[in-house]
Structure 1
């Protein structure tokens, strides 16, 4: 062999190795940059979600210091009546994540304020339609198996909580409006400040002054309205870099397309939000249900706190995907999905390990009953798997919202949750006698199937095509008003 050729070959191989190393370093750097962008959105969103979730949880805690009936009244109203309204309002408001996110990415800032006002019109109308749920909550609760005493107390408390319903209607569009622009820190500071005040005034009114449920309702309503007013004042004062240009009659135009997207979003998220609530209701139908219901309630409490983490990633990925698709950056949208999925699953694995490692100990913080603690420890295995599944599933739902796939995911949820998961849980729990383990296990199967399908849909997505269709979606759902800007 020619000596000159023998010298060239190692140089070529060396150059190839350097190229691979350079590409690997570039990928790691890009992953780090995208991870930083996601955490800048996700961390404040997680903290905001925890603060707002804590408002109701703290009210329950203080009510429990008053008496058992007061605790039951607040718990039932908070989890069933307000929980139902919360799911609907959050879902209806999530239409804004698609429209505001893609409009912001496309540089069409002025439409964000119009979209927010349009969402207010739709959600305030929805709130009016939900008022009968609050007014007639006692017979509805009794229909679901609650005692007359608890139903009456919870129904009375529900009437006092009607202002919170209308705060939901204004709050969620405001939050989606701010999230689309990446202005999440202001929501965090306002929610944190309100939580501190809420804690003090709950103690003062409920315990110190002895106002009981009246003080609980007053404090909770004022706290939610303080959040709404604080966020709106920020928008008006700063004008959000031109995204807010005042009230407009365009909010009342082209509502049909917006309503369709809002309903699709509501159905998609409500089917997910209510799925685990159904678990507690079905558990109440088991023979001698007291112990399993208490145990499952403890597990759902822990699952609720843990859910705030993927909920933050849900908001972050929805913003990233909608912004990048609106700007026509298909590759950036796809890469963001990969980064957030890997991050959230890694956190989910850690949380699952913590749950499984502490399953012998954490029940004692929630109950003094040995039987309930033992049952909770047994169920903690399923709780661990639920925590892991919930680390990815909300993220994929966030991708769906950012891309505008709400209708598709709604159909997937119906089939996976209520055609497969729920019947499987009932079959395993009652027919085959596995009790609460069977019910929960079957429902985890539904969640697993839904997650697998969403992974396949996401992997097979043509992101270039999605970016091309983003402008068409804004025209379809946003209406002709977008052309005026």
Structure 2
């Protein structure tokens, strides 16, 4: 009797162990599948962002070894106006990512090309509104008290920024459109090739033809428009047959709701980009403006390299959340968020350690100045801390974009950066005389508070309710395939006439 009971107990234990192994195997397989899906989106997205930003860095590297005043002028223009506009365009394009991702998850493929065309119309309009700010960048900077010699150089180089501005409209929106349907591997290839093309053109213009800062900016425009043209060829050339059915008059329908969502998205990200721009602007009022601006912009570039990797993961979080919301699976949404947060944490810790180890040496890529190198080395500790704080925040922003919660994040950014971060940095600079280290410390405080608030918001989010909201949005904004086809056909008939 006791032996029979013992055998039964042993069978139960073995069965329990087998079940545990089965569950463990299922969990590992589930994690691996999610990681594979995540990197399928994140890797090309990271390549696109890193190489796009790399083109800006290449221009600065060549300028920095040509003229210190030119370096400060380019850093000031890039860190204020270009960065701000880039943030607005990236933010507005994230509305395309939200809608295309949810449409793809809901299998409303015919709407994705329509959303892309609507985004072109809206983003082109907004980009045009920013052109006067580029034209009058020099006078505006002088009006707020920036160094006259530096801003005179800004007057010379602003025309090169305008074509770059319009290239962003197309590169950003098409990248989001392709990313939402898991076809962004081509983006990684295109952007990488364009990056090396930009290096070659910049070297030729600066080192061979002696065009200086103008040659560096010409190389920037060549690389950015090479990406845009290649994307047009891919999208319009028949490689997206289910989601691109041609130009359609349906693109002019429901522009106002998309405009509102785009502006919320743009406001969300531009607050983040502009935050760094204001800090660079404030560094122009310090004792040695050339050294301060150059050192801070170099640290900003290092920070932005890591940020662009995080933004690649943010894109993965956005697409995964949007796809699963479109499918109506709230549990899959929560699982995707957990996986991408863990991966981001590992990358952030590694990057922070590298900055601590090699902070001072990196500055010689951008400038030969010993003073700039010492200033960068002094900032390396604060830089590494800010990277640690920045591990979670972009991922949470990506989750918000995927769920269409851009407005909430915009208000969080406004409060944490502008009501807390900048005033705190100003106190450290002008009262405690901490210099540019105080400015960066204020940013760290702002990012930390923003991260805590977003963690709370995401923790309290009812994802079942978000699934319902997504279904309602799809019902409201989706046109029937027959409607889209008829409008496309009527457009084609008009073109033939």
Do they fold alike, i.e. is TM over 0.5?
Answer: yes
Moved more, 258-267 or 229-238: 229-238
Partner of 1:114: 114
Structure 1 residues 380-416: Cα deviation after superposition (integer angstroms, max 9, x where no partner): 1111111112222111111110111101111111111
- Aligned length in residues: 484
Structure 1 residues 105-131: Cα deviation after superposition (integer angstroms, max 9, x where no partner): 111111111101101110111111111
How far residue 337 of structure 1 moved from its aligned partner, in angstroms, is 0.7
Partner of 1:130: 130
Distance 1:295 1:64, change over 3 A: closer
How far residue 156 of structure 1 moved from its aligned partner, in angstroms, is 2.8
C-alpha separation in 1, matches of 2:119 and 2:268: 17
How far residue 35 of structure 1 moved from its aligned partner, in angstroms, is 0.6
Partner of 1:26: helix, strand, or coil?
A: helix
How far residue 138 of structure 1 moved from its aligned partner, in angstroms, is 1.3
Partner of 2:414: 414
Partner of 1:204: 204
Partner of 1:52: 52
Structure 1 residues 401-456: Cα deviation after superposition (integer angstroms, max 9, x where no partner): 01111011111111111112222222233234444333322321221111112122
Structure 1 residues 320-365: Cα deviation after superposition (integer angstroms, max 9, x where no partner): 1111111112222211111000000111111112222334654555
CA contact (8 A) 1:60 1:75 kept: yes
Aligned positions of 1:62-461 closer than 5 A: 62-288=62-288, 291-359=291-359, 361-363=361-363, 370-461=370-461
Moved more, 200-209 or 90-99: 200-209
Moved more, 204-213 or 366-375: 366-375
Structure 1 residues 452-484: Cα deviation after superposition (integer angstroms, max 9, x where no partner): 1212222222222222221212345x3667894
How large is the Cα RMSD of the aligned pairs?
2.3
Distance 1:377 1:142, change over 3 A: same
C-alpha separation in 1, matches of 2:289 and 2:409: 34
The list of structure 1 runs, each at least 4 consecutive aligned residues, that deviate by more than 6 angstroms after superposition, is none
Distance 1:398 1:143, change over 3 A: same
1:17 aligns with 2:17: yes
Partner of 1:247: helix, strand, or coil?
A: coil
CA contact (8 A) 2:345 2:392 kept: yes
How far residue 87 of structure 1 moved from its aligned partner, in angstroms, is 1.2
C-alpha separation in 1, matches of 2:348 and 2:136: 40
CA contact (8 A) 1:292 1:436 kept: yes
Partner of 1:391: helix, strand, or coil?
A: coil
C-alpha separation in 2, matches of 1:360 and 1:164: 31
Partner of 2:392: helix, strand, or coil?
A: helix
Moved more, 217-226 or 68-77: 68-77
Partner of 2:241: helix, strand, or coil?
A: helix
Distance 1:204 1:432, change over 3 A: closer
Structure 1 residues 208-263: Cα deviation after superposition (integer angstroms, max 9, x where no partner): 12333443343332322221111011111125131111111111111110011000
CA contact (8 A) 2:85 2:270 kept: no
Distance 1:220 1:46, change over 3 A: same
CA contact (8 A) 1:257 1:479 kept: no
Distance 1:63 1:366, change over 3 A: closer
TM-score (norm 1): 0.93
C-alpha separation in 2, matches of 1:177 and 1:439: 37
CA contact (8 A) 2:111 2:479 kept: no
Partner of 1:118: helix, strand, or coil?
A: helix
C-alpha separation in 1, matches of 2:290 and 2:151: 18
Partner of 2:21: helix, strand, or coil?
A: helix
How far residue 8 of structure 1 moved from its aligned partner, in angstroms, is 2.5
C-alpha separation in 2, matches of 1:346 and 1:216: 35
How far residue 40 of structure 1 moved from its aligned partner, in angstroms, is 1.3
C-alpha separation in 2, matches of 1:139 and 1:89: 24
Partner of 2:491: none
CA contact (8 A) 2:382 2:440 kept: yes
CA contact (8 A) 2:46 2:309 kept: yes
Unaligned runs of 5+ in 1: none
